[in-house]
Structure 1
Amino acid sequence: MAGSIRLRKQPNVWELRVYLGRDASGKVKHRYSTFIGSKRDAERELARQLLLIDETPAPVIEGTKWNKRTTFNEAIEAWRENGWEDLSPKTQMAYQQLWNKYIRENIGTRSISATGIYEVERYLRKLADGGLGESGIRQIRAILHRSCKLAGKWSNGAIPNPISGAERPKSPRRDPVRAPSVTEVRTILSALEASGDLRLHAFCRLAIATGMRRGEIAALRLNDIDFVTGELRVDEGVVIGSGGVTVKTPKTAVSIRKLFVDQTTLDLLGKLRDQQLALAARCELELSDDAFLFSFDPGCATPPYPDVFSKNFAKFRTDYAIPKDIHLHSFRHFAATFLDALVSERQKQARMGWSTTHMSRHYTDVVSDEDKRAAEAIGEVLS
């Protein structure tokens, strides 16, 4: 709590000023008083008054008051209270960390209305010059843009959005994710089999054969797999938030899909299922139908962290001299590339779970037959 003293025209007469905060309209409020005595005594009296203010509970003001003094921090805080929960847990955690580290004590303290496009672009460039990557800068701009857009709506247009016209600094061009060749994929699968890590082998094989996202594979349950027909149901994904892993339905309906896998991949998934059943039996547990296939929990009741498989694959890649530019996400690119010359564009969209503005995923049985042929073809290539 801030305060100050000021000598009036008369000797030993002091004006004490104590900051009380802002009223309901956002206006700064102070309390003034007069003290007669020495400067040291006046300072003691000011300290006493500040102590009393600190010990007095602050009045609760409902809601945010929108005006020209509203700061970026206040807009973000209002968004947190009204709409933040619509973000995925992983996005919430990432935005919170970026806010705390790069925004809160920097541009966050500034008034939105008093900040121009030049100041915003200068702020973003300063972040880039400080070493922050393209992804971080893009997300920071997204945080500021969304919060200012909401502030403009909630203030009935009184607060502008200086972020909408601000451009991000250009980052050095990065090489796109490379799709490995068929020869490289076969080498990787042979090395995975030799490693003896059945869980990682099955995880990578499924990613290669289907192009599924790592979060989708981590969320795969036993009852999502038909071990007779080879059909998989993809309707969940694992996301990482501040409270740990969470299983959520996809953001878009097209990501919910059914697809086939080849027999070799299906057999590998069956081996992992048998291994999980054996482990549960040794622990005197039973696996439920909705148990997570790739779980590290003996009862398979909790989904695994997708990052664990990325780290394990990175270690495997080093141990077996696999090219460093091949990552788990490279397998999704391989599957998409392989499908180009094999199936129709709509089936490729359906199998990969991509969202478009002009396509729907409600296809006929002919599309399912086409997907089965795609699964068999890629199984032959991988074998």
Structure 2
Amino acid sequence: MKREKTKYPGVYFRLQKKIGSEVLERSYYIMYRIGGRGSKLIEEPVGKESEDMTPARANFIRSDRMRGKELSNVEQRKAQEEAILAESSRPIISRLWTLYNEDKPDRKVKKTDTYFYQKHLEKYFGDKEPSEIVTLDIDRMRLRLLKTLSPQTVKHILSLLRRLIRFGVIKGLCNQPEPSRQHFTFPIVDNQKTETLTQQQFESFMTALNEEEDQNLAAFMRLALVTGMRKGALMALQWTDIDFEQGFITLRGTVAKNGKTERIPISEPTRIILENIDVRNSLFVFPGKNGGQRKDFKRVAKRIKEKAGLPKDFRPLHGLRHTYASWLASSGKVDLYTLQKLLTHSSPQMTQRYAHLADEALQRAATVAGELFSEKQKRKPI
């Protein structure tokens, strides 16, 4: 379209059709130089009538451009692009979380970490850089979370935040926050509670399992007791993980708590339990809906626990793992290093809670040795 002049120098318009219409409207342009006659002549669109642009407004824009008060459209777009790029590269916690996930191609980030981030950390710190998070911010989050969550859970959430910040520092994405401005205070956690079944409770528990209508689900709990396997490992257990010939169960690293592949031996009771499971059309030993991996076991475990009359604070599955470990430690026949391997603990410190039981077994053995020695002393020489 032909360019038409207005009463303002350097301001003109062209008549253009509106999109999807035959109606014509004015589209305004300005022409100007920055730096005198020898500088480049700039032609720039500034708006349409439908966008409330007028010749007077266009003239003001032209004047600002010439005085350098306002960037040109091209310069504005460039500035916006640079701002977007700078914003997208800011080491905010949400970006560190994304990169933290991408940095673990060999295995997925723990489901609990994903839940803790999405449920809590994203809300509090997702749009903040590590350097912007100060001790007071961390303390406020900790105190709010402790109103509804256990100290152990809050500790996990704080540990995840600290881990994300360390990840950013190690990868060169952000600077190490000043210790004087950022300090983590973790809740005191008493996690040394060790649950174990008494002989009477064990007998009631076995009776409840024998009377359970779904014996496959009963086998799940029997296996937890005789192997000490974690609930997650049992729910993820596949038939291909079981080697009856070699006598081992493989706990795959992709589903293991510590991310490492481990093997535990198949005892005779374990073999009997596995061989009596009603095999269904699924890869999983204890499948969930539609043959997929089971997601939870709370309802069944609670039902059997109540039927057996176990204490209210007894955790049906984790308590069975503790019972398994406690019985082995107190037997005096299994050392703590072997117990650590059977429980697939990543460090010996995790197995130390059972040390006093092993000590009691040693003391009993020492007492027996002492009694035998005394008996020998009492005997008269022939």
Q: Does 1:355 align with 2:362?
A: no
Worse-matched range after superposition: 328-337 or 207-216: 207-216
Q: Report what 1:259 is aligned to.
A: 265
Q: Which amino acid aligns with 2:287?
A: S
Q: Which residue of the partner structure matches residue 116 of structure 1?
A: 134
Relative to structure 1, the CA distance from residue 116 to residue 310 in structure 2 (aligned partners, 3 Å threshold; closer, same or farther) is: same
Contact 2:238 2:284 in 1 (8 A): yes
Relative distance call for 1:94 and 1:329 in structure 2 (3 A) is: closer
Looking at structure 1, the residues matched to 175 and 192 of structure 2 have their Cα atoms a distance apart, in angstroms, of 43
Give yes or no for the alignment of 1:346 onto 2:362: no
Q: Is the aligned partner of 1:83 residue 2:103?
A: yes
State how 1:186-335 maps to structure 2 within 5 Å: 186-225=203-242, 231-236=247-252, 248=255, 251=258, 253=260, 256-263=262-269, 265-272=270-277, 275-276=278-279, 280=281, 291-296=283-288, 302-305=292-295, 307=296, 309-326=297-314, 327-335=316-324
Deviation at 1:188? Answer: 0.6
Instruction: Using the TM superposition, give the Cα deviation of residue 159 of structure 1 relative to its aligned residue in structure 2, in angstroms.
Output: 4.5
1:233 Cα offset (Å): 1.8
Distance 1:168 1:214 in 2: 27
Q: Name the aligned partner's letter for residue 333 of structure 1.
A: H
- Alignment of 1:140 onto 2:164: no
- Give the whole-Å Cα distance in 1 for the aligned partners of 2:87 and 2:129: 18
TM-score with structure 1 setting the length: 0.58
Partner of 1:368: none
Q: Secondary structure at the match of 1:304?
A: coil
Whole-Å Cα distance in 2 between the matches of residues 314 and 187 of structure 1? 14
Partners of 2:208 and 2:308 within 8 A in 1: yes
Letter matched to residue 351 of structure 1: L
Write out aligned runs for 1:61-76 (5 A): 61=85, 65=89, 71-76=92-97
Choose the corresponding residue for 2:117, options 66, 81, 99: 99
Give the secondary structure class of the aligned counterpart of 1:233: strand
- Structure 1: give runs of 5+ residues left out of the alignment: 1-33, 46-51, 238-246, 281-286, 359-383
Please report how far the alpha carbon of residue 313 of structure 1 lies from its aligned counterpart in structure 2 after TM superposition.
0.8
Asked if structure 2 preserves the Cα contact closer than 8 Å seen for 1:181 and 1:334, the reply is no
Choose between structure 1 and 2 for higher RCO, CA contacts under 8 A separated by at least 6 residues: 1
Q: Deviations over 1:308-332 (max 9, x none)?
A: x232111222344332222211111
Letter in structure 1 aligned against 2:248? L
- In 2, the alpha carbon distance for the partners of 1:148 and 1:335 equals 38
The one-letter code of the counterpart of 1:145 is R
Q: Is the 8 A contact 1:207 1:213 kept in 2?
A: yes
**Taking every aligned residue pair, what percent have the same amino acid on both sides?**
19
2:354 equivalent to 1:337: no
Aligned Cα RMSD in Å?
A: 4.1
Letter in 2 for 1:315: R
- SS where residue 249 of structure 2 aligns? strand
Q: Match of 2:342, as an amino acid?
A: R
**Once the two structures are superposed, what CA deviation does each residue of 1:285-308 show, in whole Å capped at 9, x if it has no partner?**
xx7xxx32222467x5x3323x2x
Counterpart secondary structure, 2:276: helix
Number of aligned residue pairs: give it: 275
- SS of the equivalent of 1:104 reads helix
Q: Is the 8 A contact 1:235 1:250 kept in 2?
A: no
TM-aligned CA deviation for residue 193 of structure 1: 0.6
2:275 alignment partner AA: G
Is the Cα contact below 8 Å between 1:211 and 1:335 reproduced in 2?
A: yes
Q: Cα distance, 1:187 vs. partner? A: 1.7
Does residue 152 (structure 1) correspond to residue 143 (structure 2)? The answer is: no
Letter in 1 for 2:85: I
Which sections of structure 2, spanning at least 5 residues, go unmatched?
1-45, 58-72, 350-382
Amino acid at match of 2:121: I
